[in-house]
């Protein structure tokens, strides 16, 4: 499902825009702070050792990449992917210490960008919107099938031109989705989530 959601988002956003003639491409790595700000409801009425009880338990550093296709100074498409990894410590239980578990949270998004600054500016400032998917894996989520959820996306970004075709970029990407974690037919966690990526990186422009 993760792959199908990403492919649909890419086709829905990229194909109409890529048909335009004038374009430039910017591509490069990014580093981000993955910061979930929502909360979980627990319909089952119990908590499980090794599974994050709050979205904020997965907060951590994420690494990934950006690719932006500009068809004009004001209109473009952004593709972005990032993955974070966090370890959850062992706790003492009646049966002894629990094992250390890990969470890996990966996101892939496709967004349409609308530039705000005039064409005479050497910098860019844009707002963006689109869709994507967010995938939770690692030992903390294996028992639940490593769930993937479709997400709506809003973003804000800026880029400052540097020598040799490089650009310094900062921004944020917000993913909005309904979270549900099920096990043996019972819903363990649920709730509407907002996950934010505060990111920075370098890109190389290809014209």
pLDDT on residue 15:
47
Q: pTM to 2 decimals?
A: 0.84
**pLDDT tens digits along 107-162:** 999 999 999 998 778 889 999 999 999 999 999 999 889 999 999 999 999 999 99
**pLDDT tens digits along 150-189:** 999 999 999 999 999 999 999 999 999 999 998 777 888 9
Q: What is the CATH number of the domain that holds 32?
A: 2.40.160.20
Q: Which of 104, 26, 5, 112 is nearest to 63 (CA)?
A: 104
Number of compact structural domains in the chain: 1
In angstroms, rounded to a whole number, what is the distance separating the alpha carbons of residues 88 and 160? 38
**pLDDT tens digits along 5-60:** 445 444 544 444 444 445 789 999 999 999 999 899 988 766 676 788 899 999 99
Q: Which helix (H) or strand (E) holds 3?
A: helix 2-18
Domain that holds residue 192: 2-206
Q: Which two tokens stand for residue 64?
A: 């990934």
pLDDT on residue 1:
56
**pLDDT tens digits along 82-104:** 999 999 877 766 666 778 889 99
């Amino acid at each position: 499902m993760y792959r199908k959601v990403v492919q649909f988002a890419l086709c829905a956003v990229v194909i109409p825009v890529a048909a335009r003639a004038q374009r430039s491409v910017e591509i490069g790595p990014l580093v981000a702070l993955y910061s979930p700000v929502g909360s979980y409801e627990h319909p089952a009425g119990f908590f499980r050792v090794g599974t994050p009880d709050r979205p904020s338990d997965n907060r951590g550093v994420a690494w990934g990449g950006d690719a932006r296709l500009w068809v004009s100074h004001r209109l473009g498409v952004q593709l972005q992917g990032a993955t974070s990894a966090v370890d959850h410590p062992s706790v003492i239980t009646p049966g002894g210490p629990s094992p250390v578990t890990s969470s890996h949270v990966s996101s892939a998004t496709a967004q349409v960008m609308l530039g705000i600054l005039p064409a005479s500016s050497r910098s860019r400032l844009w707002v963006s919107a689109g869709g994507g998917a967010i995938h939770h894996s690692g030992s903390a989520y294996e028992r639940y099938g490593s769930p993937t959820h479709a997400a709506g996306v809003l973003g804000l970004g800026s880029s400052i031109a540097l020598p040799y075709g490089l650009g310094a970029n900062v921004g944020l990407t917000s993913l909005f989705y309904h979270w549900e974690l099920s096990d043996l037919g019972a819903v363990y966690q649920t709730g509407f989530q907002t996950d934010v990526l505060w990111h920075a990186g370098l890109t190389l422009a290809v014209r």
